[in-house]
Structure 1
Amino acid sequence: MKVARTRTFVRLLIVPVAAALAVLTAGAPGAQAATDVSEVARQLRESPVYVDPGAQDILAKSDAQALADKIEAADKPVFVTVLPADYPTQNLFQNLRTETGVTGLYGIRLGDRFDARADSSVLSRQGVRNLVTSVQGAGDAKAQLNDFVDSALRNTGGTAPGSWSDGASSGVPVGGLITVGAVLVAGGAGGYALVRRNRRRHEEERRVALEKLRVVVDEDITAFGEELDRLDFHPGEPGADDAMRADYEHALDAYEQSKSFMAAARKPEDVRAVTESVEEGRFALASLAARREGRPVPERRPPCFFDPRHGPSVADAVWTPPGGAEREVPVCAADRARLADGRDPAVREVDTEYGRRPYWDAGPAYGPWAGGYFGGGLLPGLLVGTMLGGMMAGPAYAADYGAGYGDFGGYQGGDVSGADFNGGDFGGDFGGGFGGGDFGGGGDFGGGF
């Protein structure tokens, strides 16, 4: 009989058997040999907590199982490993992350010492450093790891890897355990149902966010198409040259590409490619208009901050959002004049459950939309002090709504990235790279951070 989460139930059932085996093998040659990091990684792909056979005196199996259940119920990419004090430490975090291949937060208790690393898209380096420092004096392994997990679940972005819930077999015979297992199914199924429910809710939230974005993006694409029509350029018209025709072709390509990208969008972060195409096309139109009128081709600038449909900006102007700090934002000529006259700019508003609001106060899904227009390192500075800016600065934002807005980058938490990750996030050799040679070093991350 195949039951979802069989691995979890079997693990609970075989504790007495495993304990007996541990006693029988304690004196066997090689019984305490270091487990290869690839095997540790394989175990972590199946469950969020791994306790090495040589470290079972550090954390009991029942405590490890309780930690694993807590992490799985929260649906977060948090990994906990418990290893003996003499486990080889050179490049440990980096090798473990490479072998596991999953974006997440990795905490390791090695003997009586503890440290952690994370992909920056899941938790910033400073966030990891602060988290580790906060649990350094937490006492025994059980207390420390519970404190670490509790804090990690509040601060880590993304969702758990799918391999934790794919029903993979543990390879342990279950014939003699089925009767007892049936008794445990009801309780275990409740935890699994909670994980499934959390994931369904998360996916539904992202679907709703995409549908809201679809309305706004369709408005952008329509406005861009109307600009193409108003320009009324014909490649064979008198005075047209190759540069004009290239601009026009570029604009047409961007228009078609933006429609294609939006039709293929399946999640909010896909929208970024759409608005990037629209922004490219609008600049091509501005260049074409300048050439036709004999004006210099405009400088490549981001679109107007207040409404990208206004086209490329012409200057930066000082603006202070209600309740926020003063900053410079790119503006079109019309909004520059409004601000100079002490009037309000023509702000892009979108529908929310509270009525029409500026896009920067309308919710997290508008980050990918704005990111396509104001990508790179520009967007965080423009949005500081706004609702959207505050959300994007949080550790979970990039995992839920995409990346690439400056400091918000990387795979989603729980994604299988393989060896494609920033080695700097997991650098720092143990036994030399941390705090002058001491693992953990009281929070000193040495060369790793």
Structure 2
Amino acid sequence: MKAVLRTRSLPGLLLALVLAALTVLSVGPTPASADTSVSTVAQALRKSPVYIDPAASEQLSSADAGNLAQQIKDADKPLFIAVLPAGYPTEDLFTKLRTATGITGLYAIRLGDRFDARADAVVMPPTAVRNLVTSVQGEDAKAQLNDFTDSAVTNMGGSAPSTWNTSDTSGGVSTTALITAGVVLVAGGAGAYGLVRRNRRRHEREQRAALERLRVVVDEDITAFGEELDRLDFHPAEPGADDAMRADYERALDSYDQAKTSMAEAARPEDVRGVTQALEDGRFSLTVLAARREGRPLPERRPPCFFDPRHGPSVADAPWTPPAGAPREVPVCAADRTRLADGRDPVIREVDTDYGRRPYWDAGPAYGPWAGGYFGGGILPGLLVGTLLGSMMATPAYAADYGSGYGDFGAYEGGDLSGADFDSGDFGSFGGGFDGGGGGDFGGGGGFDGGGF
């Protein structure tokens, strides 16, 4: 079973391991009482991530439930799991449980041999919940809950609630058992610390490799913009030049210098966003300058051409459908608008990948910051929906590695105490559910609300 270890100093890691052992031995998965009301389940989940109803105890052993709870705590994620008997009332179950627990997170319920989950949208997008639920349908309880947890903790956002850190140590666990657990974990602490360091070094190598591959493309962009400046043949003292033209030209030069400096200082792929944002600003300044020199109306601020930002600011939105994708409106330059209108393919920016030349939206996660600098303001998700890059950017794991701030691909939070104050509209059902028929595979996932429960 996978466990996500948080990077920290060796003393801190050892202390965390000891405390984890004490928590498992002293608390473990919260034992259930005969009262199986939603409020009882919620109170239990506020103390521990796993709740096993007494009437469903045959589904998962105490040891397996303890291991599952510890994995979730080690991952530091707000994942809540309840195992309930088949006859448990299902009407509005997820909404009631989320309201009673009052913690933003991902909630999964095994009810008899049926399984479903719901999540706050800031923790995991509804489509991701649906896909995870579908992937584990038909498995026995232990395999299903383990597989779901393995996938969920690596794809969800947020942190474990602070309420899990409180424990009642009056449960009768012997001092000898606690000390023994502590000694065993301390003995293995050095090995765990070494694993953390290896994982951190591997991640840093991957980030450096992504940046170096991305650097080639960004340098091409910077060079292309420098060539545009050279071709401009504008002199601040030329006849007809006024202060507004000189200001446009100065902004373009400043953007060029800023892009070069920012790329030279970039240490991670997400640092590239500032570079392409500077280039986008500079190209728009040149477009405004050209309009002033030719006596044309000043252009409105538009994003660059979607197919290749080096084409300059777009002039219109045009319908486009990627291979095996859904149609959408994308900003296009004049030349690509003509090509699309004539039934021809646009001129697409392709980059090198391990599989040959590919459009930038199919080239890997590092191109998210690159595209984010060009297409800011929240329009990027709509442009990239259904593409490889769009799918990557829609996950919390991507935000952790490459940054957020791309509109709907933005930051992910969770584990906070919100009480009943949450937007049930975030929990739109995707059909099915415990009341939706269809036996064990009821196609759940998505949100807490919307009927079905």
Note whether the superposition's TM-score is higher than 0.5.
yes
Q: Is the 8 A contact 1:52 1:82 kept in 2?
A: yes
Find the aligned partners of 1:315 and 1:131 in 2 and give their Cα distance.
39
Q: 1:239 to 1:161 in 2, by over 3 A?
A: same
2:439 matched residue in structure 1:
none
2:282 matched residue in structure 1:
281
Of 20, 27, 30, 1:8 maps to 20
1:446 matched residue in structure 2:
449
**Pairs within 5 Å for 1:250-399:** 250-259=251-260, 261-262=262-263, 265-316=266-317, 321=322, 329-336=330-337, 345-375=346-376, 378-384=379-385, 386-392=387-393, 397-399=398-400
Find the aligned partners of 1:321 and 1:446 in 2 and give their Cα distance.
33
User: What secondary structure is seen at the aligned counterpart in 2 of 1:356?
Assistant: strand
1:308 Cα deviation after fit: 0.7
1:186 Cα deviation after fit: 5.7
2:80 matched residue in structure 1:
80
1:311 Cα deviation after fit: 0.7
The superposition leaves residues 72-98 of structure 1 with CA deviations (integer Å, 9 ceiling, x where unpaired) of 67x57352266999xxx99864686x8
Q: Is the 8 A contact 2:117 2:129 kept in 1?
A: yes
Find the aligned partners of 1:207 and 1:169 in 2 and give their Cα distance.
40
User: What secondary structure is seen at the aligned counterpart in 1 of 2:212?
Assistant: helix
Q: Is the 8 A contact 2:303 2:374 kept in 1?
A: yes
User: What secondary structure is seen at the aligned counterpart in 2 of 1:301?
Assistant: coil
Find the aligned partners of 2:240 and 2:343 in 1 and give their Cα distance.
42
1:370 Cα deviation after fit: 1.6
Which structure 2 residue ranges, 5 or more long, are not aligned? Answer: 1-10, 34-38, 89-93, 429-433, 436-441
Find the aligned partners of 2:315 and 2:401 in 1 and give their Cα distance.
33
The superposition leaves residues 376-430 of structure 1 with CA deviations (integer Å, 9 ceiling, x where unpaired) of 5644454455433454456754554444545x43324x788887x97557779xx
Structure 2 residue 147 is matched with structure 1 residue 150: yes
Q: 1:345 to 1:133 in 2, by over 3 A?
A: closer
2:126 matched residue in structure 1:
125
Find the aligned partners of 1:203 and 1:266 in 2 and give their Cα distance.
10
The superposition leaves residues 51-87 of structure 1 with CA deviations (integer Å, 9 ceiling, x where unpaired) of 59999979765233210344467x57352266999xx
Find the aligned partners of 1:299 and 1:282 in 2 and give their Cα distance.
13
User: What secondary structure is seen at the aligned counterpart in 1 of 2:303?
Assistant: coil
Q: Which amino acid aligns with 1:410?
A: G
1:200 Cα deviation after fit: 5.1
Q: What is the aligned residue count?
A: 417
How well do the aligned residues superpose, as a CA RMSD in angstroms? 5.7
Find the aligned partners of 2:321 and 2:131 in 1 and give their Cα distance.
32
Find the aligned partners of 1:290 and 1:380 in 2 and give their Cα distance.
31
User: What secondary structure is seen at the aligned counterpart in 2 of 1:63?
Assistant: helix
Q: Which amino acid aligns with 2:21?
A: F
Q: Is the 8 A contact 1:274 1:372 kept in 2?
A: yes
Find the aligned partners of 1:37 and 1:249 in 2 and give their Cα distance.
61
Q: Which amino acid aligns with 1:9?
A: A
Find the aligned partners of 2:284 and 2:254 in 1 and give their Cα distance.
13
Find the aligned partners of 2:53 and 2:340 in 1 and give their Cα distance.
68
Q: Which amino acid aligns with 1:446?
A: D
Q: 1:205 to 1:344 in 2, by over 3 A?
A: same
1:303 Cα deviation after fit: 1.4
Find the aligned partners of 1:422 and 1:216 in 2 and give their Cα distance.
43
1:286 Cα deviation after fit: 0.3
Q: Is the 8 A contact 2:249 2:286 kept in 1?
A: yes
Find the aligned partners of 1:40 and 1:99 in 2 and give their Cα distance.
9
Q: Which moved more, 1:222-231 or 1:355-364?
A: 222-231
Q: Which amino acid aligns with 1:409?
A: F
Find the aligned partners of 2:99 and 2:240 in 1 and give their Cα distance.
61
Q: Which amino acid aligns with 1:211?
A: E
1:132 Cα deviation after fit: 6.7
1:64 matched residue in structure 2:
65
Find the aligned partners of 1:349 and 1:55 in 2 and give their Cα distance.
58
Find the aligned partners of 1:210 and 1:418 in 2 and give their Cα distance.
37
TM-score, normalising length from structure 2?
0.64
Find the aligned partners of 2:224 and 2:110 in 1 and give their Cα distance.
56
Find the aligned partners of 1:126 and 1:63 in 2 and give their Cα distance.
28
Q: Is the 8 A contact 1:362 1:388 kept in 2?
A: yes
**Pairs within 5 Å for 1:91-102:** 93=98
Q: Is the 8 A contact 2:394 2:409 kept in 1?
A: no
Q: 1:264 to 1:108 in 2, by over 3 A?
A: farther
1:294 Cα deviation after fit: 1.3
| Matched-pair identity in % | 60
Q: Is the 8 A contact 2:319 2:330 kept in 1?
A: yes
1:279 Cα deviation after fit: 1.5
1:212 Cα deviation after fit: 2.5
Q: 1:390 to 1:295 in 2, by over 3 A?
A: same
Q: Is the 8 A contact 1:123 1:157 kept in 2?
A: no
Find the aligned partners of 1:190 and 1:152 in 2 and give their Cα distance.
24
Which structure 1 residue ranges, 5 or more long, are not aligned? Answer: 27-33, 429-433, 436-441
Q: 1:116 to 1:203 in 2, by over 3 A?
A: farther
Q: Is the 8 A contact 2:245 2:289 kept in 1?
A: yes
1:208 matched residue in structure 2:
209
1:206 Cα deviation after fit: 3.5
Find the aligned partners of 1:67 and 1:372 in 2 and give their Cα distance.
41
TM-score, normalising length from structure 1?
0.65
The superposition leaves residues 175-199 of structure 1 with CA deviations (integer Å, 9 ceiling, x where unpaired) of 8444554345566876776666556
User: What secondary structure is seen at the aligned counterpart in 1 of 2:409?
Assistant: coil
Q: Which amino acid aligns with 1:303?
A: P
